[in-house]
Amino acid sequence: MTDPIANFLKQKRIPLQPAYFLGSKLLLGYEFVLKQYKIIFRTEKNSLIICELTRLENAAPSAKGLLSLFAFLRIMSREVNEITEIKGMIIKEVFNQQLHETRVRLMNILLKKGAVLSTDDNGDDWLVFTLYPSPLKPKAT
């Protein structure tokens, strides 16, 4: 596997499987479960793109669970030299009001944690965490 995040997860013995777009044969990225969350991601250039972040059905909402996910991402960003940013697209316009409110709350938490809003050339909004190189880790070659 040449994906640096997939390699990191494999080293940490976190089970990983391919994730396909709407059940098709189009590979979207990779999926793993961490505590109470299912995460689907892919990497493009030096970006870790969060395609889907879902709380598991049997997991209760918990700020502690979300903070442990952030802590894991922070550790991963220190150990994976190739990744310089973590980002996820903002999809606020949904018909389910409760889902909309949950997404807005999550977006506000992420902004407080250091994410910035960015709009790409297509007009899509993204939350982006820029990762600064640790003085302890060697630069990617």
Residues near 8 by beta carbon (within 8 Å), at least 6 away in sequence? 76, 79, 80
Residue 139 in any domain: the answer is no
Would you list the DSSP string of the chain?
A: ---HHHHHHHHTT---EEEEGGGSS-EEEEEEEETTEEEEEEEETTEEEEEEEEE-TTPPP-HHHHHHHHHHHHHHHHH-TT--EEEEE-----S-HHHHHHHHHHHHHHHHTT-EEEE-TTS-EEEEEEPPPPTTSPPP-
Q: What parts of the chain have a pLDDT lower than 50?
A: none
Q: What is the CATH number of the domain that holds 59?
A: 3.40.630
Q: What are phi and psi of 19, to 5 degrees?
A: -120, 130
- Domain of 12? 4-130
Residue 135 in any domain: the answer is no
Residue 97 in any domain: the answer is yes
Residue 28 in any domain: the answer is yes
Residue 41 in any domain: the answer is yes
| Structural domains of the chain, count | 1
Residue 8: predicted pLDDT: 93
- What pTM was estimated for this model as a whole? 0.80
Residue 60 in any domain: the answer is yes
Q: Could you read off the pLDDT of 4-44 as tens digits, one per residue?
A: 899 999 999 999 999 998 888 999 999 999 888 899 999 99
